[in-house]
Structure 1
């Protein structure tokens, strides 16, 4: 791989990650009436899906991936909640689990989506647990699973499936 290709990848990946950080919030803001229609609470997690693509297509060794995970978690904490740690821990936990499970999955779409599903579940459960610990989550676990976890998983798996091959081809072009 040429030096300019490596630099190009190291520039484009964090720019897209940073863009998706704000796109997540913008989608929640502009589509709040649709995504938060009582009793459902659906979260677009485009940032986590982008991190999943890096793990799935094995490009984590070409970029300072774990630095990006921590930085994006801190930015999520600062920008969206003002409470440091909850999203940082959630991003780290989801990415660590996906990274550890990655050798057991191949690059086919369904295997990748199962790995993404596991990462999304870990992320959402960690954010729920941290919210429960610091007393900002006042929803029962059953209600959380039914009205937030399941609809969020459905939306994000559809988004991950739609972006799977375009992300794969982008990573092929950049590397």
Structure 2
């Protein structure tokens, strides 16, 4: 069985082919030449960070099924300065259009992250901050929607860990065996 950890860069699709636009949008095949592995979960094209790929169907199911409650930790650069009330709301869970989220771990952080290409938009009149958010479910764009719900639009999103696996010092666009 093969399991690899990939640091997905911004703008890359979490799939090996793009039927819609095969020449314009980069996919995993630009970085990984291993036809037997598939992503265990997804990261949006505009998100970065850890993507676990495996040929083990049981592992893939364990990592992606909501009932397994696999923790996933994200670093979200948000517009504004989070208040204690906003962090508490994230910790308690918020109600989105598709229902309430499970409680999350949320705290302010000051991470050391590589620059993004292209860089995020910066507005001199509005500060930004980083939040570490750990969730145990994985709805579509959930972290972005949770942050927006409490008034903190997400400028940049990096998945730092899935279960016990972390990015550590894996540079964007590279992978290693788990």
TM over 0.5: no
TM range (shorter): under 0.3
User: Structure 1 or 2: larger helix share?
Assistant: 1
Normalised TM-score (structure 2): 0.27
Normalised TM-score (structure 1): 0.27
